[in-house]
């Protein structure tokens, strides 16, 4: 396994594995025995960075979520302390009532929610301190300053370490970080967004936003990360839920543009040269890029996890990288 540092403050920064394990479906779609086996294998391989949220997975059984955190708590208690393990969770997107959605009935990012939801996450996970806590989705109804101060209070009290943000517009991230810096408060240092090798169109209006898809890495966010090298990017759904390799899971309409066939051809060519799978090349490309990315992978079996773990040791040559990066 390889590792990198997230965070800049010596008091809160963490050394984490360059491959993160997503626990979104643990405790719901993925049963407890399988989830435990995947977690055990990940730790055995040197993995130290596990991701969840307080609303995972509310859409499966019509709940408010929390099943993933609760399973991780049971796993931790059954296995005892795991050295250097970093568990990241999120708040702000938990539905306020069972059977509703975060899109129109989310708990939000008020100071009250931040305090109460973080406390419930600590209880489910069985920890005194959350290693990394994300603001999951934007809350336009709450002043940014209130959110910034609410998170900072938890860091000052020692119940939260690093702060992160997910699925916000780049300007919202910068505004929150600027407010925190001006007030001498801790700000977001880890960004979690959807990112992969293929370029997804993000300009198509959605029901939630006329400005396009929220939470997708675009040029403005990449430019921001180049200007702020102290920030870390975690990429969720990097393998497109199997769409790179499974005929029964075709690419969605956001990839229906002229650049996709050329990039797929380069990807398959490099996979053939290296003897690696297409999925492994995607992960290696993310990990070793000019802007280093921590891929966040899910797994429903130990075999799936093992395929992803092998990508950590895949070294792309300069020529292979150039072909993968070639503009199309």
The crossing angle, in degrees rounded to 10, of helices 170-182 and 144-157 is 60
pTM of the model: 0.96
Residue-level pLDDT at 215: 93
CA distance 283 to 30: 23
Residues 176-214 have pLDDT tens digits of 999 999 999 999 999 999 999 999 988 887 767 788 888
Residue-level pLDDT at 207: 66
CA distance 53 to 257: 33
Instruction: List the domain boundaries for the chain.
Output: 3-252+278-317
CATH number of 3-252+278-317: 3.20.20.100
CA distance 94 to 316: 40
Among 51, 56, 41, 40, smallest CA distance to 16 is for 51
Residue-level pLDDT at 83: 75
Residue-level pLDDT at 145: 98
Residue-level pLDDT at 41: 98
φ/ψ region of 84 (left if φ > 0, alpha if ψ in -120 to 50, else beta) reads left
Residues 90-139 have pLDDT tens digits of 999 999 999 888 878 899 999 999 999 999 999 999 999 999 999 999 99
Determine which of 57-61, 77-81, 85-89, 225-229 has the lowest per-residue pLDDT on average: 77-81
Listing DSSP states for 104-123 in one string gives: HHB----HHHHHHHHHHHHH
Residues 132-180 have pLDDT tens digits of 999 999 999 999 999 999 999 999 999 999 999 999 999 999 999 999 9
Torsion of CA 262, 267, 272, 277, to 10 degrees: -150
Q: Are 184 and 178 in contact (CB under 8 A)?
A: no
Residues 304-328 have pLDDT tens digits of 999 999 999 999 999 999 999 987 7
């Amino acid at each position: 396994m390889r590792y990198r540092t997230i965070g800049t403050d010596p008091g809160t920064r963490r050394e984490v594995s360059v491959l993160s394990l997503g626990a979104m479906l643990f405790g719901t779609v993925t049963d407890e025995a399988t989830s435990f086996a995947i977690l055990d294998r990940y730790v055995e391989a040197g993995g130290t960075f596990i991701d969840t949220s307080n609303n995972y997975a509310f859409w499966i059984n019509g709940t408010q979520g929390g099943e993933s955190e609760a399973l991780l708590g049971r796993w931790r208690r059954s296995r005892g302390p795991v050295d250097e393990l970093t568990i990241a969770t999120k708040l702000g997107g938990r539905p306020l009532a069972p059977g509703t959605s975060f899109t129109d009935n989310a708990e939000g990012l008020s100071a009250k929610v931040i305090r109460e939801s973080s406390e419930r996450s600590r209880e489910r996970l069985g920890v005194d301190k959350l290693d990394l806590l994300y603001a999951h989705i934007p809350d336009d109804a709450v002043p940014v300053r209130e959110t910034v101060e609410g998170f900072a209070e938890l860091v000052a009290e020692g119940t939260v370490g690093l702060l992160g943000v997910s699925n916000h517009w780049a300007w919202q991230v910068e505004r929150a970080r600027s407010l925190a810096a001006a007030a001498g408060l801790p700000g977001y240092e880890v960004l979690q967004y959807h990112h992969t090798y293929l370029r997804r169109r993000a300009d198509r209006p959605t029901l939630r936003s006329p400005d396009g898809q929220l939470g997708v890495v675009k040029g403005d966010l990449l430019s921001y990360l180049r200007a702020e090298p102290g920030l870390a990017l975690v990429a969720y759904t990097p393998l497109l839920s199997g769409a790179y390799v499974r005929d029964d899971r075709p690419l969605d309409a956001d990839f229906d543009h002229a650049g996709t066939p050329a990039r797929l051809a380069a990807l398959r060519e490099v996979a053939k040269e290296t003897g690696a799978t297409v999925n492994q090349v995607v992960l290696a490309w993310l990990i070793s890029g000019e802007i280093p990315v921590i891929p966040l992978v899910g797994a429903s079996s130990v075999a799936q996890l093992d395929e992803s773990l092998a990508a950590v040791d895949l070294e792309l040559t300069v020529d292979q990288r150039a072909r993968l990066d070639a503009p199309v």
